Amino acid sequence: MDGSSRNARMVRHAFTMMLGTFASRILGLIREVLMAACFGATRQLDAFYVAYTLANLSRQLLAEGALSASFVPVFSQVLARDGKERAVHLARQAMTVLLLLGVAVVLGGIVAAPLLVRLMAPGFAPEIRALAESLTRSLFPFLLFVSLGALAMGVLNSLDSFFVPAVAPALSNVTFIAVVLLFVPSLGIRGLVAAVLLGGLAQLLLQWGWNWKLGVPLFPERPNRDDPELRRMLVLFLPYAVGLSLNQVNPLVSRMLGSFLEGGVISVLNYADRVLQLPLGLFVVALSQAVLPMLSRIAPGENEEFMEFYRDALRFALFVVFPVVLGTVACSREIVHVLFFRGAFDAWAWDATSGALSMYALGLPGMACTTVTMRALYARSRPRDALFVTASSVTVNLGASILLMSLFSYRGIALAASMAFTVSALVGYVRIRRFGGGACEGRNRLFSLEWGKPVGISLAFTTAMILLWKFLLPYPSTASLTLRLLWLGGVACMGGAVYALVTRRLQCREWEWVRSALRRRGVSESEVSRKNRP
């Protein structure tokens, strides 16, 4: 497949993921708005977020982290080389291994809940710590639902089915919102536990059912210890799990340090992070999910083709993310006011969340580059390099958080996370260049004046127009919700339109990929399989 076709296909798959993810992220924001109105920014909600983070960290480590990194490349290669039937057997064996590992982690988490809470939130008072421990025990079974759902997602993505995995979290959020409305008035904070568990189950059932429809029913199958592909997957799983466990230290550090600050800081950081999840999920995660199977199909010896696609994926991610960063930083107070300022969410929470959001947003380019780079390392089965990238992020985040928290409180914690992602992106790019060799030079170099100049000019025009909009049409903070939404939607549409028009006028290549993605069906999976056969 030529570079233009592959880029168009990447963009098309990313658009498919974006469409599904958009509903999920919007519903996720509605979920947070509902929780903010019910609980505000309080120590009680802090306890829930600590408990949810512990269960969620296990999910990210086992399900969406190490499992995805080790399973998707192997499954994609087996599917292309040996056919669907062989790939299905591999997926079923992986499901059995995941079930056994998941049950062990759930039982271990329930037993170790007191220790985990003490490590994560040492600043909690005894009564809040006891609540967090109880909630943690109740939430750990969530891991099983989302782990199995992540396996189903990996299979679907390898089959070039991206929409259902992207929309599955939307069903989870719908379930969550319904349960909160029905049970939180009577159960209080414990109603959130039921909402999380039922949402995870709904997400699993949708993806499992879609796999069945595509002819890949995921039933447990006895693992064959002599299966070379299963052994390869398990060999990759452990180093990826170690690396990703380090990566999960970052949110732990934020909550640990936040527990020493004023009450509500952990909730504030979570609200800001949830807002950032919309552009992160729409652009960064969607692109990375589309990129991993495609990178995995490029033959190991094709370094130049691999690096060219990697470079284009990074450029497209930055092309999309830069204006999002600009708009989020410029309008952070307005965004938070529209979304959360009601009920128990007071003026302090507004100011704190908007400050944290603007600091987190600065890290979006680093998040985008790190996510794509890690997918490239997974596709080339380089766990040591992935571990090195993760270790650099953790080291910078820990040191910067301790230093900046003393200077800027919760804003310093958010800024440290952005700095960590920026550093890890640079370290990851250097590691990719090392094994890419000469294929990274010349036209495959990431940054060039030819690419950066039109993007920089477009960002300058967009900044000027956003500032002009805010000067001529100040945000109507006391107006109705409809008018405030119209104001925010107006500045977003205007900024996006200006950026799009200027970049098209300056002939940015990314628009060629977008047009091709919308115009062409691209190369079918069967064609890709034939071309990748040895």
State the Cα–Cα distance between residues 212 and 155, nearest whole angstrom. 11
The residue that leads in pLDDT, 328 or 76, is 328
State the Cα–Cα distance between residues 462 and 323, nearest whole angstrom. 8
Residue 347 CB partners (closer than 8 Å, separation 6+):
none
- Tell me the mean pLDDT in the region 325-352: 89
The residue that leads in pLDDT, 275 or 513, is 275
State the Cα–Cα distance between residues 115 and 54, nearest whole angstrom. 11
Tens digit of pLDDT for each residue in 170-226? Answer: 888 899 999 988 887 788 888 888 998 999 899 889 999 998 888 888 888 888 888
> Whole-angstrom distance between the N-terminal and C-terminal Cα of the chain?
15
Q: Per the structure block, which two tokens stand in for 387?
A: 């571990």
Do residues 230 and 400 touch, judged by C-beta distance below 8 A? no
Tens digit of pLDDT for each residue in 142-161? Answer: 888 888 888 888 788 778 77
Tens digit of pLDDT for each residue in 441-464? Answer: 555 566 677 888 999 999 999 999
Do residues 94 and 230 touch, judged by C-beta distance below 8 A? yes
How confident is the prediction for the chain on average, in pLDDT? 81
Tens digit of pLDDT for each residue in 400-409? Answer: 999 998 888 8
Residue 233 CB partners (closer than 8 Å, separation 6+):
70, 71, 74, 90, 94
Q: What percent of the chain has pLDDT over 90?
A: 20
Closest C-alpha to 34, from 156, 168, 154, 182? 182
Residue 112 CB partners (closer than 8 Å, separation 6+):
none
Closest C-alpha to 377, from 428, 425, 422? 428
